[in-house]
Amino acid sequence: MHVTRRQALALGAGAAVFTLMPVISREALASAEDTDKMIQEFTGGKAPEAGKITLTAPEIAENGNTVPISVSVESAMTGDDLVDSVIILADGNPNPAVITFHFTEMSGKADATTRMRLAKTQNVVAVAKMKNGAVFMDKKQVKVTIGGCGG
């Protein structure tokens, strides 16, 4: 069998990629510090308060691939009581930022529902930023079971 220089280089490159694959494909999960940093960036360094925002998430999710969540903010949706945006974060996912909802006066109310993927049991955080600069936060821990068996 005759191997050309081009084939030898291709085999060598393939072997190198195959050798490094476990390093490349290793899943890195975000830390609580990453989530706190994203909250600080979203709020402009302002400490979030409790109240006004309600995060609804299941206490136990039998399937981490489709976890339903909803968020609502008590607001008149006019003037300074307008909800500017709401960010949802999951502190155990590779990228903690899940989604950001933006609202206007034409939204009528600040309610949103979505489904998200959770890598493991973790905290889900919702942070609301108001037009007047106020910031509110709610947090829930969602236990993700393996195959619905409570693992």
Domain positions in the chain are: 32-144
- 67-73: strand order across its sheet: 53-56, 67-73, 110-116
Taken in order 63, 88, 109, 60, the sign of the CA dihedral is: positive
Instruction: Specify the pTM.
Output: 0.77
Classified by CATH at the fold level, domain 32-144 comes out as Immunoglobulin-like (2.60.40)
The SS3 of residue 57 is coil
Query: CA–CA separation, 96 vs 129, rounded Å?
Result: 18
- Burial of residue 60 (number of CB atoms within 10 Å: 0-12, 13-18, 19+): exposed
Residue type, 67: V
Tell me the average confidence (pLDDT) per consecutive run of 10 residues in the chain, 151 residues long. Answer: 80 74 55 87 94 95 92 92 95 91 94 92 95 95 73 48
How many Cβ atoms from other residues are within 10 Å of residue 135's Cβ? 20
pLDDT of residue 25: 45
pLDDT of residue 11: 78
Query: CA–CA separation, 132 vs 96, rounded Å?
Result: 26
pLDDT of residue 14: 76
pLDDT of residue 30: 65
Phi, psi of 13 (to 5 degrees): -65, -40
